[in-house]
Amino acid sequence: MSRQTAYIYSDSFQKYDLSPWHPMKPVRLMLTAGLMRAYGLPQRDNVSEVEPRLATDEELELIHGPEYIGKVRELSAPGAREGDGMGWGLGTGDNPVFVDMHEASATIAGGAVQAADLVMSGELDHVFHFAGGLHHAQRDRASGFCVYNDVAIAAAHLKHKYGARVLYVDIDAHHGDGVQNAFYDDPQVMTVSFHESGRHLFPGTGFTSQLGEGAGRGYAVNLPLEPFTTDSVMLDAFDRLVPSLARAFKPDMIITQNGCDAHWSDPLAHLSLTMEGYAGLAARMHELVHEVCEGRWLASGGGGYQAYTVVPRVWTQLMGEMAEVRLPEELPAGWREFCGRFADSEVPLYLTRDDHAPEADAATLEMIRAATGAAIEELRATVFPLVGA
């Protein structure tokens, strides 16, 4: 039987536009939805396209303070002074203020809550909210291109409304610090983050020693990765950590943050995943949700700054996996022509075929394998006993 799936999308997501020069370009969302449509996904019996709704203040306050929400509203007006937001992480290079900032951000957060309800209610098996994954936003501070932390809000909503145990798995190149911080002492939400080491990349956190605190000790799991980490290292790390943690934790739902800035060509990070690596991760996550939580899966987007050549392909590939649809390898010609109107580089011909990442030398690759293996063994020795894995 085909799994019932959906993706959340509205052209209003284009309003989350931090500035014309900003690396997080909202066109990547439009191009992703366009590629899914070009492949005919929403015309299938088991795939729906769902319009998001605005999150309520009550929902936003599951994670964010009311004064911060008020400040975001205040700075959303035309002519707002950027300097008034500096104490809140707003008006910075990473997080410039923009007109309708609150509405744009709350629509992304509302889409995440909506997705959580659609899955937890049993109406759908899997939902992909690729505009979401804004995992750096803190309780009272914007950070790392993120204003409201939609994935943390969704996890808190699942916990408060349904009493659900939530496993959050983050494969963005950047550590999911905002989600971790929201649940650092909470054994009902386990956060697992694979990311480039904070020794090399923003936000400078996510080390193996960060395990959670109090009742939540053992429920924050971090695997920092060395620059040039490859598909094989990443997939092996996933296999040695996530299934065992998931089986021990017994979640009611899994939320994944599927940032695609670990791709070898991404301009903001230094990892070396390929399209095949992302396909392997998607297949593993899909298998796992059916094993441990009856298929309940909310997938979000995240980072990814090759807006034309990588992001739409990774996320459309993931939607195909969720819907159990084998997509043709050749990208639809109409979509390629449409993408070419915006692209600042040549549009790829194929969905999963990828230029090979530039390989590090043998000594560097051996160092990467050794460092990652040691970190995995450390986590298995420290975290696994705490959570019964």
Helices (H) and strands (E) in the chain, counts: 11, 8
Kindly provide the residue ranges of all beta strands, DSSP E only, lying in 295-367, ordered along the sequence.
297-300
Distance CA(389)–CA(383), nearest Å, equals: 8
3-state secondary structure of 195: strand
Supply 360's token pair: 């590090």
Give pLDDT tens digits for 130-179: 999 999 999 999 999 999 999 999 999 999 999 999 999 999 999 999 99
Confidence at residue 187, expressed as pLDDT on a 0 to 100 scale = 99
3-class SS of residue 289: helix
List the one residue out of 116, 184, 106, 213 whose CA is nearest residue 149. 106
- Mean pLDDT for the stretch of residues 357-376: 93
Q: What is the mean pLDDT of residues 67-84?
A: 93
pLDDT at 80 over 90: no
CATH class of the domain at 5-52+109-387: alpha beta
List residues with catalytic annotation: 136
Indicate the pLDDT class of residue 82, thresholds 50, 70 and 90.
Answer: confident
What is this structure's pTM?
Answer: 0.97
pLDDT, tens digit (0-9, with 9 covering 90-100), for 209-236: 999 999 999 999 999 999 999 999 999 9
| pLDDT tens track for 272-283 | 999 999 999 999
Residue 2 has pLDDT above 70, yes or no: no
Query: Which tokens sit at 165?
Result: 């145990």
What is the percent of the chain where pLDDT is above 90? 94
pLDDT at 83: 82
